[in-house]
């Protein structure tokens, strides 16, 4: 009996885990499972890589969307550049608004004629008395003399004998540029500063880009009507923000001359005609409403003179 037990125990031991036969079988089993394990690991790796790639693409799409919305809100939209008229020249037209400042007008025209990117100079003449032939001859000569390029700026008067303030933004025939630089006859912006502002405008050609910031804010609401306060330069400086730039010195697209004349609210045009003021504010708010974005204030040094040729102020937002 004891011998039988010993034989069975020995047999069990020989058939155990440490037996050569079972070791070979176990090895064959492990070798046969390795391709399946490698395939599973490869699938897991590819799945993780795809997930990471998805996260990266999702993050990039969010960045692109936010940046596009932000650029639109800020008024910078590179897609607008493709919409600019292909027949437009690369420079800008200087649109000078004048009112009984003949001596200042001579200085202003001479200065802007010397700017390389000035393609044309138009003087909006809003007096009942026509400009004299002597003045016309002088200004034409000064444009030719001061211009530093082969193509001399085209110069002419745009006569508005009725003195209507809205006529400042009357459509102009035969314009060769999309860019309009609207400026008062007592404002002189250095050519280098003007060229920089022009480059900013080219990045956002349907936005108003100017040097004279202003601010307005809600004062009160009464009888379903909103009343606003208007602040000048010192309000802008004190509050650290602005809500408009004035056409006293600003770039805008030529299409706004047509839109202001034909699509501006009649009540606003009537107010400007009656009060004989605020056409610059009306234009700034009109452009902002059309673009659903704010104007761009370009900081820079420039001079403005009174009718006595004395400096009235010299710096707006000195860099």
**Pairing label, strands 296-297, 209-210:** parallel
Phi/psi at 35 (nearest 5 deg)?
-60, -40
Distance CA 73, CA 242 (A): 15
Q: In the Cβ-directed half-sphere of 157, how many Cα atoms lie within 13 Å?
A: 21
Q: What pLDDT score does 304 carry?
A: 83
Give the tens place of pLDDT for each residue, 277-307: 999 999 999 999 999 999 999 998 888 875 4
Nearest one of 162, 141, 192, 156 to 319, comparing CA atoms: 192
CB 194 within 8 A of CB 303: no
List, as one string, the DSSP characters of 41-80. Answer: HHHHHHHHHHHHHHHHHHHHHHHHHHHHHHHHHHT--GGG
List, as one string, the DSSP characters of the chain. Answer: -HHHHHHHHHHHHHTSTTSHHHHHHHHHHHHHHHHHHHHHHHHHHHHHHHHHHHHHHHHHHHHHHHHHHHHHHHT--GGGGGGS-TT-EEEEEEEEEESS-HHHHHHHHHHHHTSTTEEEEEEEE--SSPPPHHHHHHHHHHHHHH--SSSPPEEEEEE-TT--GGGGG---TT--EEEEEEEETTEE--HHHHHHHHHHHHHSTTS-EES-EEEEEEEEEETTEEEEEEE-HHHHHHHT--SEE-TTEEEEETHHHHHHHHHS-HHHHHHHHHHT--HHHHHHHHHHHHHTS--EEPPEEEEEE-TTS-EEEEEES--
Nearest one of 197, 179, 169, 185 to 316, comparing CA atoms: 197
Q: Which residues are catalytic?
A: 280
User: What percentage of the chain carries pLDDT values higher than 70?
Assistant: 68
Chain-centre distance of CA 38, in angstroms? 55
Nearest one of 95, 119, 25 to 250, comparing CA atoms: 95
Structure tokens at 15: 């058939």
| Local confidence pLDDT in tens for the 319 residues of the chain | 444 444 344 444 444 445 555 555 555 555 455 555 555 665 565 566 666 666 666 666 664 454 444 434 333 333 333 334 444 568 999 999 998 788 899 999 999 999 999 999 999 998 888 999 999 999 999 999 999 888 899 999 999 878 889 999 999 988 999 999 999 999 999 999 999 999 999 999 999 999 999 999 999 988 888 999 999 989 999 999 999 999 999 999 999 999 999 999 999 999 999 999 999 999 999 999 999 999 999 998 888 875 443 334 334 443 3
Radius of gyration of the chain (CA): 37
Distance CA 241, CA 237 (A): 7
């Amino acid at each position: 009996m004891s011998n039988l037990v010993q034989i069975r125990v020995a047999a069990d031991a020989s058939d155990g885990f440490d037996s050569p036969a079972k070791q070979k079988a176990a090895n064959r089993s492990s070798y046969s499972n390795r391709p399946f394990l490698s395939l599973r690991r490869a699938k897991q790796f590819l799945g993780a890589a795809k997930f990471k790639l998805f996260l990266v693409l999702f993050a990039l799409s969010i960045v692109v969307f936010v940046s596009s919305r932000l650029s639109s809100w800020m008024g910078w939209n590179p897609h607008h550049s493709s919409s600019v008229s292909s027949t437009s020249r690369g420079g800008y037209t200087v649109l000078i608004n004048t009112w009984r400042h003949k001596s200042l007008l001579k200085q202003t025209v001479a200065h802007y004629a010397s700017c390389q990117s000035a393609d044309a100079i138009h003087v909006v003449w809003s007096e009942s008395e026509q400009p004299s032939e002597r003045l016309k001859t002088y200004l034409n000569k000064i444009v030719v003399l001061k211009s530093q390029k082969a193509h001399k700026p085209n110069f002419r008067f745009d006569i508005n004998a009725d003195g209507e303030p809205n006529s400042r933004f009357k459509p102009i025939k035969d314009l060769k540029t999309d860019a309009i630089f609207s400026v008062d006859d007592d404002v002189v912006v250095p050519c280098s500063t003007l060229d920089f502002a022009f480059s900013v405008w080219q990045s956002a050609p349907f936005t108003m880009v100017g040097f004279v910031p202003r601010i307005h804010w809600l004062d009160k609401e009464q009888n379903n009507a909103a009343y606003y306060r208007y602040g000048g330069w010192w309000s802008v400086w004190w509050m650290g923000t602005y809500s408009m730039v004035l056409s006293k010195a600003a770039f805008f697209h030529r299409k706004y001359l047509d839109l202001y004349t034909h699509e501006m609210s009649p009540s606003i045009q009537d107010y400007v005609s009656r009060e004989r003021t605020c056409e610059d504010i009306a234009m700034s708010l009109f452009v902002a409403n059309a673009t659903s974005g704010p104007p761009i204030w370009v900081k820079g040094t420039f001079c403005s003179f009174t009718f006595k040729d004395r400096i009235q102020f010299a710096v707006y937002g000195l860099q």
